[in-house]
A and B are shown apart, each in its own frame.
Chain A
Amino acid sequence: MKYLHHLIDKFILSLIGRSLIILTDKDNRIKKELSYLPENFNTAIAVEKNGPFIVLKKEKTKLKYYGYRYSPKNINLKLYFKDQEFAYQVLSARESIRQAFSEHKLIVEGDLEYAVSLIYILELVEAYILSDQLAEQVLAFDFKRKISRLQLIFKALFLFREKGEI
């Protein structure tokens, strides 16, 4: 069961990372939060400390997806969970990311203000991936999609992954 949860975690995290790139052009709330991050800002998100991190880079107001990396270098902000079961609770929408943050389940390496920005962004991306009913639970207010769930997932799965150094 634990191995299955691990696979689900990795798949959903990858989907979140890819969806985020698609949504950067679609959702003004995400654009606004991204504008809070400095230029060439590198973010890495993982299920647990030793696991592979999905790496995202902000370049000229756009985000680029660099896929999974082990021990990525030159990262400004790292987010990961204390344990993969905690990640599973969040990534399977059983618990909100801010609740996990409040419960000390999330480790942050980097500036906390930027981490808060990223958490808002992740909440929005999660809401897009979930059903409308669950999305409203995550965001606690009426959520209007700028792209359908199916379209988003389809585009995300075929997203170009950047290669080379971060």
Chain B
Amino acid sequence: MKTPNYFEFFSPVKINSGEQALSTLNYELEQLHVSNPLILTNQTLDELKILDILLSYMTKIDINPRQIIKTVPNQATLETVQKASHRYRELSCDGIIALGGEAIIDTAKGVNLTISENVDDLTKLTGIETAHGDMQPFIVIPTTSGTGSEAALSAVISDSKGENSLEFMSSKLMPDLAVIDPRMTFVLPPRLTASTGVDALVHAVEAYTGLQTNPLSDAYSFAALKLIGQNLEQLVSDVNNKKLRLAMNNAALMAGIAFSNSHAGVIHAIGDACEKISEVSHGDALAVLLPHGMFYNLKFEYCRNSYQDILLALAGSEKFVNTAAEDRALMAVDAVVGILSELRFLTGIPVRLEEIGVKRSEFNLIVDKAMHNSALLNSAGNVKRSDIVTILEAAF
């Protein structure tokens, strides 16, 4: 384990996780002094009755239908944030509840920033630690396990033209409460369960090997990797299993806490670039790039040391003990490849970039984009353009 000379770790989110976690909602709303919340969600979650489940647990407050915004798109946009903020002010709301995946959570973070900083133009707050005001009470109920957004200090919101992604990173963006209830993610099909699980796996692996890796984030990463190693493949074969679902929800949450503090790295940077340039799925790109990114990191001694822990977490103590110390890092990559292969067999997740629609002619643009992703600065070594090309070629 690498011991840093200095590190910061921040994780103030209260986590209520378990089969009856939603039952605590009335109590928590009272604790946060919220009686008039704005609820952000989307049409699909309404149609699947997920919203109804949430409302059935908010019995001590009256919810006016106008307090529920069901039209949050699949990508957080400035326009949605502005409309939701306007509604928040109009109805004199006193708290925000985000029910959904990353886009809804990021939209809610944008609303919280707009209201708390009392701004109309959110673009003025892009960057790192630009918020200074007291934030509104903020509750997140994730419906997809993988993103870790419920515990992350970042939000990505598209500008009004949809051309640029505005990035916000601030400890103020963290919610007060995350409610992890397996009933809210039951509807995920096997393919999506696999994809979001890989997202959590990437978060945990990269948090373990970034420049800001530290003993606290390592503890979260290790616990997340252990849960992923023990539960992901089983869950994909049995998506309605409550215990497996809860385990993966917790894994995603812990991986989110880890990468929120230690940051992502080269795999995420290239994955994000593929998503933006080739318009491919984030989860698919990460699934393809993960083993190649890990293989690239093997050249750094501290990554090799960290990967030994990853082998222990993913494959268990017997495999760890039976593997020679000098081979453990490589075997950790092999363990990850094993998980991905099994998921491919079960759900058909991709293994090559070409398969998901990335074109070789786009490599230059992808490299440019990846080189300017802040995650790259946190990656091991000083990643160069040629390194990214090597990873892309290997994954193509």
Known A112-B167, A113-B372, A116-B372; contact A107-B128, beta-carbon cutoff 8 A? yes
The proximity string for A residues 105-129 relative to B, scoring 1 for CB distances below 8 Å and 0 otherwise, is 1111111111111011000000000
Residues of B within 8 A of A112 (CB): 126-128, 167, 169, 374
Question: Which interface residue of A114, A116, A117 has the most chain B CB atoms within 10 A?
Answer: A116
A123 to chain B, nearest CB (A): 8
Does B335 count as interface, using CB distance less than 8 angstroms?
no
A120 to B372, CA, bound (A): 9
The proximity string for B residues 324-342 relative to A, scoring 1 for CB distances below 8 Å and 0 otherwise, is 0000000000000000000
Across the interface, A103 reaches (CB within 8 A) one of B4, B129, B371, B372, namely: B4
Does A69 count as interface, using CB distance less than 8 angstroms?
no
Does B41 count as interface, using CB distance less than 8 angstroms?
no
Q: In this complex, what residue of A is CB-closest to B9?
A: A104
Question: How many B residues touch the partner, as a band?
Answer: 20 to 34
Known A103-B7, A115-B127; contact A140-B381, beta-carbon cutoff 8 A? yes
Question: How many A residues touch the partner, as a band?
Answer: 20 to 34
Q: Is the CB–CB distance between B211 and A111 below 8 Å?
A: no
Question: Which interface residue of A36, A78, A115 has the most chain B CB atoms within 10 A?
Answer: A115
Q: In this complex, what residue of A is CB-closest to B212?
A: A102
A83-141 residues with Cβ-Cβ distance < 8 A to B are 98-99, 101-117, 119-120, 139-141
Does B304 count as interface, using CB distance less than 8 angstroms?
no
The proximity string for B residues 228-272 relative to A, scoring 1 for CB distances below 8 Å and 0 otherwise, is 000000000000000000000000000000000001000000000
Residues of B within 8 A of A111 (CB): 126-127, 164, 166-167
Compute the total of residue contacts between A and B using a CB distance below 8 Å: 74
The proximity string for B residues 350-391 relative to A, scoring 1 for CB distances below 8 Å and 0 otherwise, is 000000000000000000100111101110011010000000
Residues of B within 8 A of A119 (CB): 377
Question: Which interface residue of B126, B127, B130, B382 has the most chain A CB atoms within 10 A?
Answer: B127
Q: In this complex, what residue of B is CB-closest to A114?
A: B372
Q: In this complex, what residue of B is CB-closest to A120?
A: B371
A139 to B384, CA, bound (A): 10
Q: Is the CB–CB distance between A103 and B212 below 8 Å?
A: yes
A117 to chain B, nearest CB (A): 6
Known A102-B378, A140-B381; contact A108-B212, beta-carbon cutoff 8 A? no
A99 to B214, CA, bound (A): 13
Q: In this complex, what residue of A is CB-closest to B369?
A: A113
Q: Is the CB–CB distance between A116 and B373 below 8 Å?
A: yes
Residues of A within 8 A of B212 (CB): 102-104
Q: In this complex, what residue of A is CB-closest to B167?
A: A112
Q: Is the CB–CB distance between A102 and B210 below 8 Å?
A: yes
Q: Is the CB–CB distance between B374 and A116 below 8 Å?
A: yes
Residues of B within 8 A of A139 (CB): 382
A109 to chain B, nearest CB (A): 4
Does B6 count as interface, using CB distance less than 8 angstroms?
yes
Does B163 count as interface, using CB distance less than 8 angstroms?
no
Does B8 count as interface, using CB distance less than 8 angstroms?
yes
7 CB < 8 A contacts A-B: A98-B382, A103-B6, A104-B212, A112-B126, A112-B127, A112-B128, A141-B382
Interface residues of A (CB under 8 A from B): 36, 78, 98-99, 101-117, 119-120, 139-141
Interface residues of B (CB under 8 A from A): 4, 6-8, 126-130, 164, 166-167, 169, 210-212, 263, 368, 371-374, 376-378, 381-382, 384
Q: Which 6 A-B pairs have the closest CB atoms?
A: A102-B211, A140-B382, A108-B128, A113-B372, A102-B212, A108-B127
